Structure 1
Amino acid sequence: MLINKLVSIPSRSGRHLQRYNRGCRLVVGCIPYRFRETETSPPIHGTVIEELEVLLITSQKSPRMMFPKGGWEIDEDIKLAATRETMEEAGVVGTLGDKLGEWIFKSRSRDTFHEGYMFPMLVTEEFDVWPEKNVRRRIWMTVNEAREVCAHSWMKEALDAFCSSIHASANKEKEFL
């Protein structure tokens, strides 16, 4: 019920509640993902990269593609902020994994630096209506397609970290079989 209320309210905006670290604005985001159903998929999902799809969104002001991310606000913990930003911008919710890393990057719109944190999110629900539906498009694509179209190099690095963690998980699963 709470999620249904959240998807119908406007996105948070403004910078007055933003967190900063040594002058860098803190931003958080997710790499939303799912496993494609295929005829050759095992009954229990494997972690094969070819079966993996990730969700990218367009920028509000251009067709540039990226993963959902935004400001980490002072009244939130990091995982809540990542979940909120992903729901507001991409209209999905799910289960967060462990932090993929942190990146320092220069803002494209301002002459400042940001400190970014990314999490993988296994998508469990995709909404038809969400706060930024009218200003963004969302597109599911393969990892290789995402690597090609993602506009931010630091997000491509996060995608590589995510793929490495998926490979590590797959290898651990094989050890137990």
Structure 2
Amino acid sequence: MVGLVSQENNLVALVSRTGRALQRYRKGRRQVVGCIPYRYKAGSVDLEAASSSEEDEIEVLVITSKKGKGMLFPKGGWELDESKKEAALRESIEEAGVRGIVEGKLGRWSFKSKSQDTCHEGYMFPLLVQHQFDFWPEHNHRQRTWMSISEAREVICQHWWMKEALQRLVNRLTARNNNKLAPTLS
């Protein structure tokens, strides 16, 4: 039986999916999806009144790798029984213990796995965090840390494609905020 934890009427399974039997492959490359969990800092809810840069208003959540070598954003295999967005949300719950709104794809990258010497195709999505669980499937194996965009750029530098995805997120959120602030013509 899969263990479940109820927190504020939210359920999260305490067991991660394992194995590669349901993994998607395309042209011999494992399909990987992930999220950049983000939130607006406390006190910056009224973005229209904010005068500082978008980067200063956002925090992102990074996690330790399972092997303990470096920090990254939650990601993992895209399985046959789920959409890309569903897989991205599942990975965020399993690895980082957060749930929220999965937004539009940031992009697709081809990269070489550092541990397996194979090529993967990765898709990243922004995840506007709405709930953070105290217990999640990999809480005994990973640590999570909220940090600024500039701090995240430093710690995920070994993953060039995640760094690029982070910049795309910043660009998107900045453009969205600038559009909100633009005067409308009558």
2-structure distance, mates of 1:43, 1:125: 20
Q: How far is the alpha carbon of 1:147 from its aligned partner? A: 0.2
Q: How far is the alpha carbon of 1:85 from its aligned partner? A: 0.4
Contact in 1 for aligned 2:62/2:72 (Cα 8 Å):
yes
Query: Would you say 1:9 and 2:14 are equivalent positions?
Result: yes
Structure 2: runs of 5+ lacking an equivalent:
1-5
Q: Mapping of 1:98-177 within 5 angstroms?
A: 98-150=104-156, 151-176=158-183
Residue identity opposite 2:16 in structure 1: S
Cα RMSD after superposing both structures: 1.9
Name the residue aligned to 1:43. Answer: 46
Greater Rg over alpha carbons, structure: 2
Q: Map Cα deviations across residues 83-126 of structure 1 (whole Å, 9 max, x no partner).
A: 00000000000011110000000011112100000000000000
Normalised by the size of structure 2, how large is the TM-score? 0.88
Q: How far is the alpha carbon of 1:143 from its aligned partner? A: 0.2
State which of 95, 100, 103 in structure 2 corresponds to 1:94. 100
State which of 8, 32, 36 in structure 1 corresponds to 2:37. 32
Identity %: 54
Contact in 1 for aligned 2:54/2:170 (Cα 8 Å):
no
2-structure distance, mates of 1:42, 1:71: 34
Structure 1: runs of 5+ lacking an equivalent:
none
Kindly report structure 1 stretches of 4+ aligned residues shifted beyond 4 Å: 44-47
Normalised by the size of structure 1, how large is the TM-score? 0.92
2-structure distance, mates of 1:144, 1:94: 23
1-structure distance, mates of 2:65, 2:139: 12
Q: Map Cα deviations across residues 128-174 of structure 1 (whole Å, 9 max, x no partner).
A: 00000000000000000000001311100000111110111011111
Contact in 2 for aligned 1:100/1:117 (Cα 8 Å):
yes
